[in-house]
Amino acid sequence: MAQAAPVIQPDLELSYEVPEQVTLLTDAWRRLRRNRLALLGGAIIAVLFMVALISIVWTPYPVWLQAVGPTYQPPSLHHLLGLDQAGRDILSRIMGGALITVEVGIGSAVILSLIGIPLGLLAGFYRGRVDTVISFFINIWYGIPDLLVALILVFVLSDALHLIPRGVFVIIVAFSLTRWMDVARLVRGQSLALREREFVEAARMAGGRDLALIFRHIFPNALGPIIVQATFAIPAAVLFEAFLSFLGLGLPPPTPSWGAMASDGYHGMDFAPHIVLAPTIALSITLMAFNWLGDGLRDAFDPRMRR
Amino acid sequence: MRGTLLYIGQRLILIAITTVLVSSIVFLLLHQIPGNAFLNETRTTPQALAADLRHYGLDLPLQQQYVNWVTAVVHGNLGESLVNRGVQITPLLVRETSVSATVGFFALFVTIGLGMLLGVFAALRQNTWVDYVASSAAVVGYSIPAFVIAIFMLLIFGHYFFVWTQGTVYYNVGWGDWTQVPVPAIALGLPYASYVARLTRASMLETIRTDYVRTAWAKGLKARIVVLRHALRNALIPVVTILGPLVTGIITGSVVIENIFGIPGLGKEFVTSILARDYNIVIGVFTFYAALVGLANLTVDVIYPALDPRIRY
């Protein structure tokens, strides 16, 4: 990507071979396009987003409406995915669940990046005492089962202290508070390396302030790995929500969370397996799509993969 | 040797400190909760309530409670259950840990054994159908959460093959038979096995192209020796690095797996106690988990130099 040195042709005519100028994102997109699995993942995610948006304004039946037909009814033409143990339309609830999945996934990725990126940048840029403190927290965190701390946080924040009502937001907060360390560690490493580079030194010599150096010069150059890390945070958050709701510690009952639906259906699994199959398959496909896209992005942003 | 022991000793002290620190956070978090664990009992009188609070030391100021708790934990005493009075938590959790550990070790065995087997075969037969089948299975498998696999296995073995299993996969009938271990352990280990398979395949592909492996072939060594002694040993190094997170994952996963199959282990206790607001047990389980994760990471760090002599403590 660097400027190519002028090449002197044998006939002594000076000609510059100007390499094509592409931005990081264009370059990554070109390589991502060649990865079929990542594209499939992206397509599935696009469908998920569309379903989630549609579910805000329209679902075949209201997601909470009980007894729209006989309970435990298997799939039929009227109810494509059947009815659950309370006679609710499962297709509608899957659509509503898509919205919750999107909210939890995107919300967590955004909030944990907002916590992790500044802390990682500060630790890597200032080093010394700032770094010691932040790294201390990061290292402690690697010795604990983080999801279980998040589980307790959800419980304490919503049920016990009544700070945040039990809902999507408290799950996002609890997850982000225990998972920002991944991003912080990555950004710290990036900014430790980038702060020694010539362009940062040049910017400092030109009189750039610390904040300008950090956000205008170091941050944009660490963007690729950050995007990859944030993409992998989405399936983790989605799985965390499903895990909590499945155990009955997540979203409260009428909410059409896929985890809670799986837990509902699990009790009647031997005679009505369709109730448990729909949400678990939806969840698995969603997680798969995000993981494929994440893998694709990682390869696309990795300079070593450049051909 | 003496260096190793010294290192292990230092790490053990560090693990103890981390464990107390982490469970202190949980202790303080749970003690922020207004009211107390006995308020929802309707039949209690103010006198009985005061006696209960006195019995558990909950009438003391928080600082005093915390000091008492830390002193007790350092002596290995996690206190008494709030719901079932008289039940000492430490022996209870030790018993449950042995149940969880049985399933967990089997799951780890499935993860590493199956994952490495698939990874090695996929790498040795790169771009053949073996590779394609193994790689696609891995790429699908690691996205399917353990609890979904558990539900499917329960559906298959507990329902469709009921005649064959006679309902023994569902543990509400009682725990204690070794035949009950494999099904939940496979459910727990399978997602991570896919991950290990991907990792093994990638590092194996890198290793079998190195000069020293080519030399080993050229010397005329048997395939088994080349693969096992020359290639696999080096290909294992990246796999060992993820063992720490793997154990954390298996512990987290066991919480939901034990609840699905009704296994009387730490994970089931954890969820039951949260729902019953038995905070003493919640803190106790957490202390156990923190210690287990620490010990697992230590084990990994001790194995590591044995595998790769370039690495020293």
Across the strands, what pairs with A14? A8
The interaxial angle of helices B2-30 and A146-154, nearest 10 deg, is: 10
End-to-end CA distance of chain B: 12
Query: DSSP letters along A214-276, please?
Result: IIIIIHHHTHHHHHHHHHHHHHHHHHHHHHHHHHTSSS-TTS--HHHHHHHHHTTTTT-THHH
**Contact present, B2 and A127 (Cβ < 8 Å):** no
Q: For chain B, give the number of residues.
A: 313
Q: What is the mean pLDDT of residues B287-302?
A: 85
Q: What is the mean pLDDT of residues B32-60?
A: 72
**Contact present, B103 and B181 (Cβ < 8 Å):** yes
Could you tell me if B159 lies within 8 Å of chain A, comparing CB atoms? yes
Low-confidence ranges of chain A (pLDDT < 50): 1, 306-307
pLDDT in tens, B251-286: 888 888 888 888 888 998 999 888 888 888 888 998
pLDDT of residue A95: 93
Cβ–Cβ gap A37/B139 under 8 Å: yes
Could you tell me if A292 lies within 8 Å of chain B, comparing CB atoms? yes
Determine the residue among B274, B278, B286, B287 to mutate to test chain A binding: the one whose Cβ has the most chain A Cβ atoms within 10 Å.
B274
* Cα nearest neighbour of B294 on chain A: A143
Could you tell me if A232 lies within 8 Å of chain B, comparing CB atoms? no
How far is the C-alpha of A162 from the C-alpha of A170, rounded, in Å? 10
How far is the C-alpha of A92 from the C-alpha of B226, rounded, in Å? 57
Contacts of residue B295, defined as CB under 8 A and 6 or more positions apart, other chains included, come to: B15
How far is the C-alpha of A218 from the C-alpha of A220, rounded, in Å? 6
Q: What percent of chain A has pLDDT over 90?
A: 32
pLDDT of residue A307: 41
How far is the C-alpha of B119 from the C-alpha of B199, rounded, in Å? 7
How far is the C-alpha of A37 from the C-alpha of A293, rounded, in Å? 8
pLDDT of residue A163: 78
pLDDT in tens, B72-88: 888 888 888 887 877 88
pLDDT of residue A96: 92
Cβ–Cβ gap A144/B151 under 8 Å: no
Q: Which residues from B are below 8 Å from A149, CB to CB?
A: 22, 25-26
How confident is residue B51, by pLDDT bands cut at 50, 70 and 90?
A: confident
Which of 114-173 (A) contact B at CB < 8 A? Answer: 140, 142-149, 151-153, 155-156, 160-161
Closest to A290 (Cα-Cα) out of A222, A242, A220, A221: A242
Minimum-distance CB partner of B251 among A145, A262, A287: A145
How far is the C-alpha of B22 from the C-alpha of A182, rounded, in Å? 18
How far is the C-alpha of B184 from the C-alpha of B147, rounded, in Å? 10
How far is the C-alpha of A186 from the C-alpha of A120, rounded, in Å? 7
Q: Which residues from A are below 8 Å from B34, CB to CB?
A: 160-161
B119: pLDDT strictly greater than 80: yes
Task: Give the rounded distance of the alpha carbon of B24 from its chain centre.
Answer: 21
pLDDT in tens, B144-167: 888 889 888 888 877 777 666 665
Decide: helix, strand or coil at residue A83: strand
pLDDT of residue A6: 60
DSSP 8-state code for residue A14: E
At residue A163, φ and ψ (nearest 5 deg) are: -75, -45
Q: What is the mean pLDDT of residues B168-190?
A: 75
Q: What is the ipTM of this complex?
A: 0.84
Query: DSSP letters along A192-223, please?
Result: HHHTTSHHHHHHHHTT--HHHIIIIIIHHHTH
Contacts of residue B290, defined as CB under 8 A and 6 or more positions apart, other chains included, come to: A143, A144, A145, B18, B19, B22, B23
Closest to A242 (Cα-Cα) out of A177, A147, A163: A147
User: What is the pTM (predicted TM-score) of this model?
Assistant: 0.86
Q: Torsion-angle region of residue A83: left (phi > 0), alpha (psi -120 to 50) or beta?
A: beta
